[in-house]
Structures are given as structure tokens and as C-alpha cells.
Amino acid sequence: MFLEPGFRGQRSGWIEVICGSMFSGKTEELIRRLKRARIANQKVQIFKPKTDVRYSEESVVSHDSNAVASLPIEKSVDMLEHVNDVKVVGVDEAQFFDEKLAQVCERLAIKGIRVIVAGLDMDFRGEPFGPMPSILAVAEYVTKVHAICPHCGSLATHSYRLSNESETVLLGEKDKYEPRCRICYSMGNILDLKV
């Protein structure tokens, strides 16, 4: 039987990370965990980066259109101003935050808060993305979720960029990205010709 993180003798205050490629269900899992916390009558505060306005300026929205209200913020330290009497903090699109995010999450966990962070572990180049490596290093619980590679049906671990833009942060959906397994990702543009 699977138990939710935190129910294995954990006293209080810990960090959970949900990571993976684009279209793997990270936000969906974050929303699921936050809804369960609310069912348990725990006060929840959800944050997202101000820059992420793909679906909504003020809600965390999954690719399946499930949504939960959130507070858009500029910097990770801004979270500390909005966590009075909060038992659970949710953070979506963590890769877009600054490098202080891991420190902020640790501070919240030390205060006895359950912190659930969702984000891309790698950018489109296959390199660690933003503050995610630091958060993964300090987290008590890590869940890696996977999409399905549309080329071969294997588990997708990479976010492949379909456009030629080279900046690391480029907001987009299926028009700009697709999930790929390691092999199809490494084949790169060869597969683009077959699509």
C-alpha cells in the first residue's frame, strides 16, 4: 500500500518534489496533493512565478485544464510574506524561480510547513533547470513523473523543443515542445522530418 509522503513518522515540515518533462502530469499531481490537504482541513497557499501566464495569470492550471487559485510572485523570498498559519505550501513551475527557492523551501519546512514543489528537472537542452537541482538535493520526497514519447511509446524524460528559439525560458505548449524518451530526444531533428 502506498502512503502519502509525511505519513511515515515524519514529525512536521518537509519538502516534496514532483519533477519530470513537459506533459508528464507534474501540475496535475501537485493539484491532487493540494486538494487532499484541503480535504484534511489544512490551510494551503499556492505560489507560481509571475512570468507563467500561459493559461491564467492567477491560477495554477494543468494541461488537462484542472485549476487551483494561486498567488503569482516575482521572487521566491516573497513566499515568506504570505504563509501565516499555513500548513501546506504548493509551488508550481519551480524551474522559473530564482536560486534562493531551495533556501526558502527549507525555511518553510523548518517552520513545520509541508512544501510541495513541482517543476521541470531539465530544460530543452537536457541540462538541470534553474533551482531544481538544489531543491531535489534537500527534499525528503521526490516523485519523478513521465509523459509518453509520441514517436516510440516509451517513457518520456526529456522536453524537446520543436522551434529554433535558443533562449532557455520560452513559454509554450504543444506548438513548441513535445515529450521524448532519451533515444528519440537524442535523434533530434531527424524525427521532426517524419512528423
Neighbours of 52 (CB within 10 A): 18
CB-based burial of residue 176 (10 Å sphere; 0-12 exposed, 13-18 middle, 19+ buried)? middle
Closest C-alpha among 99, 107, 91, 169 to residue 134: 99
Q: Is 80 helix (H, G, I), strand (E, B) or coil?
A: helix
Written as one letter, the residue type at 64 is D
Closest C-alpha among 182, 41, 29, 178 to residue 117: 29
Determine the Cα–Cα distance for residues 157 and 155; give it in Å rounded to an integer.
6
Strands 88-91, 114-120: pairing is: parallel
pLDDT of residue 101: 98
Answer for the pair 177, 120: CB distance below 8 angstroms, yes or no.
no
Task: Please give the positions annotated as active site.
Answer: 93
Q: What is the pLDDT along the chain (195 residues), one digit of tens a residue?
A: 344 555 555 568 999 999 999 999 999 999 999 999 999 999 999 999 988 655 555 555 555 556 678 899 999 999 999 998 999 999 999 999 999 999 999 999 999 999 999 999 999 999 999 999 999 999 999 999 999 999 999 999 999 999 887 787 776 666 788 999 999 999 986 665 554
pLDDT of residue 164: 82
State CA 96 to chain mean position distance. Answer: 10
End-to-end CA distance of the chain: 41
CATH of domain 14-145: 3.40.50.300
Closest C-alpha among 55, 86, 88, 60 to residue 73: 60
Q: Is 136 helix (H, G, I), strand (E, B) or coil?
A: helix
pTM for this prediction: 0.84
